[in-house]
A and B are shown apart, each in its own frame.
Chain A
Amino acid sequence: MIKMLFFALFIKPIVFIVLGLNLQGYKQLPLKGPAVVAANHNSHLDVLVLMSLYPLRRLKYIRPVAAADYFFQNKLWAWIATRCIDIIPIQRSGQSAEQVLEACHQALEAGQILILFPEGSRGQPEQIGKIKKGLFYLMQQHPQVPITPVFMRGLGKALPRGEALFVPFNCDVIISEPLGLAINSREFVIHIRKVFDELSQRCLGQGF
């Protein structure tokens, strides 16, 4: 309920009126789980924009995967992350790969839609960083679940890493067809990177 109100009253107006999206391929966005949305990562706004694409009633099935060490730093962040956004927290250090991904497996088995960022962090503004292999290892256990890559541009201009001033820019959101899993992690990473590069060609906006 808090999640729906947070998006209806606060996030959706910001995303659609103050920011504004150039949306392509909306019909390919998976509305029913289990599914994975794999997007490039430039800004804290990324996850809010992706979630805003969903109708309010579907929001409770949408679970962004985020770093626990970052979002549980202080109480306000932690409250927003758990109550308003409902993240799946990931411990980035100190655990085995299986333990790290346990909550993701559970969510997929429960038919939820995971939003995750294969680059792992926001990196340099408006640059695609190195794609990590975590997504591959997660999906190995769910070979039937579709992975939908989404490329976004402009949010790293609106609110890049390390900046507190929010400046409105239109944002391109380009949704690709769902992918299958590649034979090994290396192929998979190369493939995702290639899809991001292709999607980025269709953007109207400019990066830095």
Chain B
Amino acid sequence: MLNIPSHSLYTMLLVLGLMGLASGIQYALRLKHPERDYEELKKRINSWWWMIGILFICLTVSTTTAIVLFAFISFLALKEFFSIVPLRLNDRRVVFLAYLAIPLQYYWVGVGWYGMFIIFIPVYVFLLLPARMVLIGETKGFIQSAGIIHWATMLTVYCISHVAYLLVLPEKNPQAGGLGLVIFILFMTELNDISQYIAGKLFGKHKIIPKVSPNKTWEGFIGGLACISLLATLIAPWLTPLSAIQGLGAGLLISCAGFIGDVVISSVKRDLAIKDSGTLIPGHGGILDRFDSLTYTAPLFFHYCYYLAY
């Protein structure tokens, strides 16, 4: 059916089933407690439906549409980053060049040119952006702008493009395909966010980094770690070329990396004294608020797999 490898197809159906369950619970809660306000929960779940719907449609249509989708996500994330950080009038042309890195980076992904994909932004874009700044000639605030623009491009374009590259890796688990890897990293990352949040709400006592994020607790972190390690051990052999024990390693890695990605973007927002980075996704905030963990989990999981299985 639809040319989707069977394991990936079943996982997608399972995700849709779970979403249906979540919507059902939300509906039941509203019937049971009509006096309470579930508006925020409803918005969140609706946004999840949209995000998962768009993702699944693009993943099923073709590899190319999926790559274009990730390129578009990179664009939205980079734009959001550039909109909230302080930049100079003179940086506009440099920012424009940074945007041009997106189609090129995803073109390397599309043609499967691994060598170029892996060095394009850390080497060529890294060297080119300050060169363009020099041509413009404004030296006041040079260091800060050079740092911000390249860091933003790394996080939102380079890191997120690793998800797309999973689609063009040679097939090692034919029943899941490249699709399986993408579904695995995306849902493990998001489930990690959710399970850390729930474990924190249920058991949270000892704060990890109160200065950055007062809601993050050791109990939440460990709860998420345990949950994702278990899930990854079970699911990795089904969706990826990894064995169960390698899946456990992937789970630990994703959980820790996801936590760090989350608090890195939190620190950015705290520095700028804003709560959300945007308003694009109702109930979630901006695109960076949703993809913060993925900026760390995607490249680390990619290289973990690449080292072990390719």
Q: Chain B interface mostly helix, strand, loop or mixed?
A: helix
Specify which chain B residues have a CB less than 8 angstroms from the CB of A5 in the assembled complex. Answer: none
- A20 vs B84: C-alpha distance in the bound complex, in angstroms? 13
Contacts A125-B89, A206-B84, A206-B87; A167 near B279 (Cβ below 8 A)? no
The answer to whether A20 and B280 have CB atoms under 8 Å apart is yes
By a CB distance below 8 angstroms, the chain B residues around A111 are: none
- The answer for the CA separation of A208 and B95 in the assembled complex, in Å, is 14
By secondary structure, the A interface counts as loop
Contact B82 A169 (CB under 8 A): yes
The answer to the question of B62 belonging to the interface, with a C-beta cut-off of 8 Å to chain A, is no
Given that A22-B279, A168-B99, A170-B278 are known contacts, is A204 also in contact with B83, CB under 8 Å in the complex?
yes
Q: Who on chain B is nearest to A126 by CB? A: B89
Instruction: Point out the residue from B79, B87, B272, B276 that lies within 8 Å of A168, measured CB to CB.
Output: B79
**Chain A residues with CB below 8 A from B89, complex form:** 125, 157, 160, 208
Contact A22 B87 (CB under 8 A): no
CB distance from B102 to the nearest CB of A (A): 11
Could you tell me if B96 and A208 are in contact, using CB atoms closer than 8 angstroms? Answer: no
Q: Whole-angstrom distance from the CB of A84 to the nearest CB of chain B?
A: 26
Closest residue of A by beta carbon distance from B287: A20
Q: Tell me whether B156 is interfacial, beta carbon within 8 Å.
A: no
Q: Does A143 contact B (CB under 8 A)?
A: no
Q: Does A205 count as interface, using CB distance less than 8 angstroms?
A: yes
| Cβ contacts under 8 Å, B96 to chain A | 165, 167
Task: Report the Cα distance A206→B92, complex, angstroms.
Answer: 13
- Least CB separation from B279: chain A residue: A22
Contact of B279 (CB < 8 Å), options: A23, A168, A206: A23
CB pair A169–B83 under 8 Å, yes or no, is: yes
Contact of B83 among A154, A160, A163, A165 (CB under 8 A): A154
Taking CB atoms, residues of chain A closer than 8 Å to B192 are: none
Taking a contact as CB atoms closer than 8 A, the residue among A163, A170, A208 that contacts B79 in the complex is A170
Residues 67-90 of chain A, each 1 if its beta carbon lies under 8 Å from chain B, else 0 = 000000000000000000000000
CB A195 to nearest CB in B, in angstroms, measures 21
Interface flags for A137-169 (1: CB within 8 Å of B; 0: not) read 000000000000000001001001001010111
A206 cross-chain contacts in B, Cβ below 8 A: 83-87, 272
Is B80 in contact with chain A by the CB < 8 A criterion?
Answer: yes
**Alpha-carbon separation in the docked complex, A168 to B76 (Å):** 10
CB distance from A141 to the nearest CB of B (A): 38
Question: Which of chain A's residues has its CB closest to B78's CB?
Answer: A168
Known: A157-B92, A165-B96. A208 touches B87 (CB 8 A): yes
In the assembled complex, B172 has its CB within 8 A of some CB on chain A: no
- Give the total of B residues in contact with A, Cβ under 8 Å: 25
A170 touches B92 (CB 8 A): no
Does any Cβ of A come within 8 Å of B134's Cβ?
Answer: no
Judging by beta carbons under 8 Å apart, are B274 and A167 in contact?
no
Cβ-closest chain A residue relative to B285? A204
**In the complex, which residues 63-107 of chain B have their Cβ closer than 8 Å to any Cβ of chain A?**
75-76, 79-80, 82-89, 92-93, 95-96, 99
Q: Does B277 contact A (CB under 8 A)?
A: yes
Within 8 A of B (CB), among A27-46: none
A22 / chain B contacts, CB cutoff of 8 Å: 278-279
Residue of A nearest to B272 (CB): A206
Contacts of B75 in A (CB 8 A): 168
Contact A204 B95 (CB under 8 A): no
Residues of chain B lying within 8 A (CB to CB) of residue A170: 79-80, 83-84, 278
B 260-300 contacts with A by CB, 8 A:
272, 274, 276-280, 286
A90 to chain B, nearest CB (A): 29
- How far in angstroms is the closest Cβ of chain A from B127? 21
Give the docked Cα–Cα distance between A20 and B76 (Å). 9
A46 to chain B, nearest CB (A): 16
Q: List CB contacts (< 8 Å) of B132-170 with chain A.
A: none
Contact with A along B32-46 (1 / 0, CB 8 A): 000000000000000
- CA–CA, A165 and B280, complex, Å: 25
Query: In angstroms, how far is the closest chain A Cβ from the Cβ of B247?
Result: 38
Q: How far is the CA of A206 from the CA of B82 in the complex (A)?
A: 9
Whether A205 contacts B84 in the complex (CB less than 8 A), given A20-B280, A23-B279, comes out as: yes
A151: min CB distance to chain B, Å = 15
The minimal Cβ–Cβ distance linking A150 to chain B, given in whole angstroms, is 16
What are 9 A-B contacts defined by CB distance under 8 Å? A20-B278, A24-B279, A125-B89, A165-B92, A167-B96, A168-B75, A170-B79, A170-B83, A171-B83
**A residues lining the B interface (CB < 8 Å):** 20, 22-24, 125, 154, 157, 160, 163, 165, 167-171, 204-206, 208
| 4 tightest Cβ-Cβ pairs between the two chains A and B | A170-B83, A205-B83, A22-B279, A169-B83
